Structure 1
């Protein structure tokens, strides 16, 4: 039996099985047989991997190009009405369902196709989907694009999944092409990726900004009435404003008298930052506190002098330790070495 060949005609269509070669032909062309469940698995896999938007475009492009391929087989025929009837018989014989050309006008370049029990409908119904498929409607758009020799597209008017007896598809001239459809999808995906990336950047920037605010210029209690605020890195409006607010709040909350501005972590200082330090000193003075500069290196002192920002009357020390010792003395205490 494996070496046998079989032929059968369904309506006007011929199926031939070559057992020895493992081949099936349909009207002389190589063909394949698939279960509906296998096609369902194939379509679901595409959708699972690509997502609904991409898979919809893939189905439409595939269906449209299949339709163009079918119409190319009959290029040159002028008996279009008879040809459409042949199409319907071919699809019926192949198990694609029942197709009826309900309306057709070559002059107006439009058609209405009704489809009942198509393989796409069977699969969607089996999967409990509530939206009609797009592959077969776009397939007929591709067929009529070939027959009418211009770009055509489709519109679903009725659907069996919505309770109608058949799917009804309007085919009409359109400026929409498959290439445009693909490009629009690519642009949409690119735009979505950019938006998603911008969102992530914005979220990350906010996280970093919050982290910088939390770590930037902490106000540290050292001894009674003495606070230290270490300056690290470069400062902009936001950092300076945040630093001044922190210093004022903590000095008031702890009822401290002295604030040591520690410049140990500053390697280079620009006029903008020096102006910020000046504002901080003035703000602390307004609420009755005093500021001292500590951790001032020789290089840093030269930079401050060259900035032409006036910091006269501000005590400064080369180290934090010296500044703390001076503040203790100003507070009426002294450090005594334990015997």
Structure 2
């Protein structure tokens, strides 16, 4: 042992501190030492920044890949049974707590690991957690994935945090991988984002629909017994249903005789629109009303003529003024210009 290097042999493990270079090695590999409180702060920060679900996936991926790295370091130097036997010394001497491989079967691809006083348990106890961590269980899944050359995953059978004497982790062959978990988490976050956007769109659509319902197709009493409904924009089945309900309600409430539908604000006049308008007119006639279509442009006139909808018996005018004048005359009134 030189003045610049300090070597400590613990069982089969060798620790070397190079004081001049400020380096520390564990079994010949560069290593670091941390206080439990530093690791606690590290874990808390990841959880705070990422959230619980994301941090769980991060810890699992980190632990698994660390374990897989450990298995590659020892594979080739010892056979599997020797490595499994030495793990209790390797992890205990590194301050990871007591490790016991309670059961393993290469044929079954199954291992049961028992941990006591692991650093993760110590830290979670300081953090007042009531559930076991996932970093060390996934770490052991990574270790045995490397040793067995088979993808392994874990489940926690029991935990010291819930009053047991030790943590028990069952490692088994599985199709679950950290990469799949990350992919699933990404899809989940994307779906949550999509759902949130869809909810906002739905809310906004409902608000706009309510606004359209309030603003469109107002029923305007013009003169005695005469109502006018200006139609604006493109109509679908829902809007026609609302139009019919509003027209019937207002017509009955005003005890009117004539309902004028002003088509000036309609640019698109297809067969669906004509059919919807015809049904509304028929509904008005069933309660004794008369319907007049006003604001009929040459293009709308052609669309109605070329449609398969029977609009015979309905009165048309090119302007609202002519329609109102006609309704007044039918009621026995004349518009007389004051001299």
Do these two structures clear the TM 0.5 threshold for a shared fold by scoring above it?
A: yes
The structure-2 alpha-carbon separation of the partners of 1:263 and 1:333, relative to structure 1 and needing over 3 Å to count, comes to same
* Aligned: 1:7 with 2:18: no
**Structure 2 equivalent of residue 33 of structure 1:** 33
**Structure 1 equivalent of residue 226 of structure 2:** 226
Distance 1:19 1:280 in 2: 94
The structure-2 alpha-carbon separation of the partners of 1:230 and 1:112, relative to structure 1 and needing over 3 Å to count, comes to same
Deviation at 1:164, TM superposition (A): 0.8
Two-structure CA RMSD over aligned residues (Å): 2.7
Partner SS for 1:267 = coil
Q: Does the 8 Å contact 1:5/1:16 carry over to 2?
A: no
The structure-2 alpha-carbon separation of the partners of 1:184 and 1:308, relative to structure 1 and needing over 3 Å to count, comes to closer
Q: Does the 8 Å contact 1:216/1:243 carry over to 2?
A: no
Partner SS for 2:168 = strand
Q: Greater shift after overlay, 234-243 or 104-113? A: 104-113
Q: Does the 8 Å contact 1:268/1:303 carry over to 2?
A: no
Partner SS for 1:231 = strand
**Structure 2 equivalent of residue 63 of structure 1:** 63
**Structure 2 equivalent of residue 173 of structure 1:** 173
The structure-2 alpha-carbon separation of the partners of 1:242 and 1:15, relative to structure 1 and needing over 3 Å to count, comes to same
**Structure 2 equivalent of residue 124 of structure 1:** 124
**Structure 2 equivalent of residue 272 of structure 1:** 272
Deviation at 1:92, TM superposition (A): 2.2
Partner SS for 1:244 = helix
* Aligned: 1:302 with 2:283: no
**Structure 1 equivalent of residue 157 of structure 2:** 157
Deviation at 1:303, TM superposition (A): 2.5
Partner SS for 1:37 = helix
Deviation at 1:225, TM superposition (A): 2.4
| Superposition map of 1:105-116 within 5 A | 105-116=105-116
Deviation at 1:288, TM superposition (A): 1.9
Per-residue deviation, residues 257-280 of structure 1 (Å, max 9, x unmatched)? 221100110123112222222222
TM-score normalized with structure 1 length: 0.86
Partner SS for 1:264 = strand
Per-residue deviation, residues 137-193 of structure 1 (Å, max 9, x unmatched)? 111121122222222222211101101121011223334344444444444444545
Structure 2 gaps, min length 5? none
TM-score normalized with structure 2 length: 0.86
The structure-2 alpha-carbon separation of the partners of 1:174 and 1:297, relative to structure 1 and needing over 3 Å to count, comes to closer
Structure 1 gaps, min length 5? none
The structure-2 alpha-carbon separation of the partners of 1:313 and 1:176, relative to structure 1 and needing over 3 Å to count, comes to closer
Partner SS for 1:217 = coil
The structure-2 alpha-carbon separation of the partners of 1:5 and 1:229, relative to structure 1 and needing over 3 Å to count, comes to farther
Q: Greater shift after overlay, 19-28 or 287-296? A: 19-28
Distance 1:152 1:308 in 2: 69
| Superposition map of 1:1-339 within 5 A | 5-9=4-8, 11-12=10-11, 13-336=13-336
Per-residue deviation, residues 40-89 of structure 1 (Å, max 9, x unmatched)? 33223333343333322222222111111111112224444443343222
Deviation at 1:308, TM superposition (A): 4.9
Q: Does the 8 Å contact 1:10/1:93 carry over to 2?
A: no
How many residue pairs match? The answer is 336
Q: Greater shift after overlay, 137-146 or 200-209? A: 200-209
Q: Does the 8 Å contact 1:71/1:146 carry over to 2?
A: yes
Distance 1:299 1:105 in 2: 84
The structure-2 alpha-carbon separation of the partners of 1:107 and 1:320, relative to structure 1 and needing over 3 Å to count, comes to closer
